[in-house]
Structure 1
Amino acid sequence: MAIGIPKKDKFLDHNQVELVYAHKKSYQEIINSDLVEYKSIYSHASPKRLYFGDNLDVLRLLATEPEICGSINLIYIDPPFATESHFLSRKQSKAYDDTLTGAVFVEFLRERLIWLHQLLSNHGSIYLHLDEKMIFHIKLIMDEVFGAENYRNMIVRKKCNPKNYTRRTYGKTADFILFYTKSDTYIWNQPKVPLSENSKKEYQYIEPETGRKFMKVPLHAPGVRHGETGKPWRGKMPPPGKHWQYPPKTLDEMDARGEIFWSKNGNPRRKVYLNEHSGVGVQDIWLEFRDAYNQNVKITGYPTEKILIY
């Protein structure tokens, strides 16, 4: 079995906080558990897999396949939320039971996360979706399994419109997505959104030669440097306590291309063009991906369906 077992019984280092609870299994107990065979409806020659059964057993099985174990680049999981509820479909047939709570729920999820860690590639990422009830417990488990240094974000998602709560508490309109990676060499394709109309107004200058809109930004950055970026350029030193963003040779090339704006006082600024702006990076608060039940979209009828993002 292609499983990497750490030298220590636990993932934890001396500076990490551990969540302790009853009947918590050791790493070796989980890794050495017995296999249950399942058959996929697709052939092994196909990259597609569909299994019917306990996902823990299937994860164990996948970890025995060298072409899969350690090669998965992206995992998203939406486990039960420990709601102590029974969920029905639109047609009132049973969908699933969400009855595990407390330590039992934590260990249920921890076992699966350990196997998912095995399946994930060194360049891979995992996103785990929960609400406020168990997110903080599982944050500690994710730190244990994936390493606190591989925590990237806790995304806050607005799941529904505000409601008229009758309870003596604030309305609950959010849930959370934990984003971890296997290492610091993970694949990252930054999602972006277009600039807002207000942001576009910052591009208030027009280049006469091309008609392109641009804004002016400093050519220097904080910090003293003693290399090329700390030397004079065109007879000018960077401001005190700062350095040029680029070496003088690069600045000369930028100026030759017309990418530097010179003020009447002879101060250089870099031109940033509106038509070259690729958009603003998505932040860790998501407002536009609400549950399908709260939007006028076609859904399957599954009671806790998340809206498809593509």
Structure 2
Amino acid sequence: MNLTEKDKEIIKKCLDEGKPIPSIYKQKLFNTEDTEFVEATKDYKLVYKGKARKEDIIANTPAAPLQKIRSFNSDNQFKDDWSNMLIFGDNLLALKAIYEDQQGPNLYKTKNKIKLVYIDPPFATKQDFMKDREKAYRDKIIGAQFIEFLRKRLILLREILADDGSIFVHLDWKKGHYIKAILDEIFGEHNFKNEIIWNYYGPGSPHMKQYNRKHDNIYWYSKSNEWIFNADMVRTAHDEKTKGNFKEGLRGSGFIDGEYEIPDGKVPEDHWLMAIAGRYPKDGIKRVGYPTEKPLPLLERIILGSSNEGDIVLDAFGGSGITACASEYLNRKWIALDCGKMSIYTIQSRLCKMKGIMFNEFLSGRPREVKGNEFTLYHSGIYDNQLILQMEWEHYRPFVAQLFGVRISEHKVHSLKVDGYIGVNSAYIWDYPNQKNLLLDEEYVKTLHEALGGRAGDKFYVIAPISSLSFMQDEIKHGNTTYVFLKVPLSVLMALINKGEPGALKQPASETDVNEVMDAIGFDFISQPLVKVNYKRATPDNKDLFNASDKDFIIEITEFKSNTLAYDPEDFENFETFSMVMVDTNYNGEYFHLNEVYWADKIFDTEAEKAIVRIPEKAFTGEKMMIIFMDKYGNELKVIRTKKDFA
């Protein structure tokens, strides 16, 4: 190392002051003929503040176990006991739960079965997108925060993807180049298959000041050097598309309903994603106006090309549910995740409505009825405590183990068989489902200590519902062992409070903030909000000749407060946690079909301290109406009303 005393003095000063070392000294400090150094530094990576190591992300991301809420279309079950999965919760924690399940019992039957991942994540712009003159959503996650937000999920998505699987990442011009570099790191640049350009706008206006931003970028990567690509399917699909009828000059993002003429007998190049005329029914899976919804033909083409019938297709940002709908239509199994309740209800409604609808076969053109396969709604990270306490032991044990981070590994401590470890300490899960009438008191702790023969170590964990414990303290010491009691669900909530994160998965209060819930990570437990409501009839605000005799159905909310397990209603100002009202005006008694969303910022009158929902008389089409009052934590109160309930 040829450094003069002056060189050393300059380098030392730079290090002391935290300044970068001038590049002139790099050759002197490092031997450029050192092959190991050259190999380590010739690679290029995207570097930014807060970037975690891949190993730390996999190890430190908590898993949020999946809680089964209910199943739909149970009269049409799969023969192999599979059920399509709709998951409400933070997708990072849910993906970690799927990852851990694949490493262990594979209860959800996804190991090496997820052949295709398509994600359309937020684009991190803070820009309001426009759809049908209505604001869609405003992305909240920007810069390095967004990149790391997505990178964490991409790392886990790669881990759970089948060996011959593919991922398609849908982005726009603002952040695509950064994520391309991240995808190269995670999947390997050698596994980059293609950059697909999706063109969705036509010629610009006469007053435009720059070239049109008229496309999105879809990056396709395989996991390995083996992948699925059905060339014949894609080629045939393209040929079928060109047989459709399209209106001359029409530009749009995919959905067309009706008959159109092909100009000069040709389909313009940017219409390859358009629908075949007449193939879509007026109900079912047509566009629903959800923010940033993508067209069905786009997903059909991707799914046909990179998966086969019976494969699992996963969408970690479920949104409007178009990926699940396309998978259902094309006889693929599917998993859809989203942390917004509006998204979950939209997907649920669309899938239930698809059942029995007749379509023209995508390739052959022959009529076919959509089966409407069974799908199950799960919660991940936000739970119904009562449903936990109703579980059978074989489901309760792995659920609470994952909830508290127990590594299942049965072993004996003296004469007692315990379930596993938290860190290096033993953990014992109390068999609540089969011992519901027994109460654990301080005498029990003494008996437990004796059964362990003083060999429990420094700490010994006991997991039990708070209702099964007769004492308040979290720790009791006997001899050299501290017995730590993890209470379902209180201990999880206390951990959140200590981190300053109570109330995970905050829901938006306005349409412009639909994507704000992407920032939330954590656990919570469902509690119904306290709501005071008056139901009445009144003449329309915009009274005219056509509705002069009508009377709107009025939902007048005078009080709205959250009542969580962590907080009392008195901890909140009135309407402080109000998010939205969702309505099904033709409730069928089986499932909630989302007709309309009324955002808090649109219906709350700050001066009158009340929120008013007006439903036109002609809009209440059924015998019953289901109304869902939602708070910002995803808690909801569901009520059913008939027309007679409105005075």
Shift of 1:286: 5.9
Residue 293 of structure 2 corresponds to 305
Give 1 or 2 for the bigger CA radius of gyration. Answer: 2
Residue 289 of structure 1 corresponds to 273
SS in 1 for 2:55: helix
Q: Which amino acid aligns with 2:288?
A: T
- Out of 31, 47, 52, the residue aligned to residue 25 of structure 1 is 52
Q: Which amino acid aligns with 1:135?
A: G
Q: Deviations over 1:46-67 (max 9, x none)?
A: 3311111111111111112223
SS in 2 for 1:65: helix
**Is residue 2:168 matched to residue 1:141?**
no
Q: Deviations over 1:88-120 (max 9, x none)?
A: 98797x965411111011001000000000011
Residue 227 of structure 1 corresponds to none
Alpha-carbon distance in 2 for matches of 1:41, 1:160:
41
**Is residue 2:115 matched to residue 1:80?**
no
Residue 63 of structure 2 corresponds to 35
Residue 88 of structure 2 corresponds to 52
Q: Which amino acid aligns with 1:129?
A: H
For the 8 Å contact 2:136–2:292, the answer to whether it is kept is: no
Alpha-carbon distance in 2 for matches of 1:299, 1:174:
19
SS in 1 for 2:122: coil
Shift of 1:71: 2.8
- Out of 101, 106, 113, the residue aligned to residue 142 of structure 2 is 101
Distance 1:167 1:86, change over 3 A: closer
Q: Which amino acid aligns with 2:64?
A: V
**Any stretches of 5+ residues in structure 2 without a counterpart?**
1-38, 72-79, 103-108, 243-268, 301-647
Residue 245 of structure 1 corresponds to none
Distance 1:289 1:64, change over 3 A: same
For the 8 Å contact 1:18–1:144, the answer to whether it is kept is: yes
Shift of 1:288: 2.6
SS in 1 for 2:158: helix
For the 8 Å contact 1:157–1:290, the answer to whether it is kept is: no
Residue 64 of structure 1 corresponds to 100
Of Structure 1 and Structure 2, the greater helix share is in 2
Residue 258 of structure 1 corresponds to none
Alpha-carbon distance in 2 for matches of 1:42, 1:147:
39
Distance 1:42 1:165, change over 3 A: farther
TM-score normalised to structure 2 length = 0.29
Shift of 1:158: 0.4
Alpha-carbon distance in 1 for matches of 2:70, 2:187:
30
TM-score normalised to structure 1 length = 0.59
Q: Deviations over 1:8-56 (max 9, x none)?
A: xxxx987642000010011122101222233244679433111111111
Alpha-carbon distance in 2 for matches of 1:76, 1:14:
33
Residue 194 of structure 1 corresponds to 239
Shift of 1:287: 4.4
Distance 1:301 1:25, change over 3 A: same
For the 8 Å contact 1:158–1:174, the answer to whether it is kept is: yes
Alpha-carbon distance in 2 for matches of 1:129, 1:15:
29
For the 8 Å contact 1:39–1:51, the answer to whether it is kept is: no
Alpha-carbon distance in 2 for matches of 1:165, 1:304:
26
Q: How many equivalent residue pairs?
A: 207
RCO comparison, higher one (Cα < 8 Å, 6+): 1
Alpha-carbon distance in 2 for matches of 1:303, 1:196:
26
SS in 2 for 1:121: coil
For the 8 Å contact 1:127–1:177, the answer to whether it is kept is: yes
Alpha-carbon distance in 2 for matches of 1:196, 1:41:
40
SS in 2 for 1:194: helix
Alpha-carbon distance in 2 for matches of 1:58, 1:302:
23
SS in 2 for 1:51: strand
Residue 169 of structure 2 corresponds to 128
For the 8 Å contact 1:129–1:176, the answer to whether it is kept is: yes
**Is residue 2:171 matched to residue 1:116?**
no
SS in 2 for 1:39: strand
SS in 2 for 1:84: coil
Q: Which amino acid aligns with 2:239?
A: P
Q: Which amino acid aligns with 1:34?
A: P
For the 8 Å contact 1:41–1:50, the answer to whether it is kept is: no
CA RMSD of aligned residues (A): 3.3
Alpha-carbon distance in 2 for matches of 1:84, 1:180:
28
Between the aligned residues of both structures, percent identity stands at: 37
Shift of 1:162: 2.3
For the 8 Å contact 1:71–1:120, the answer to whether it is kept is: yes
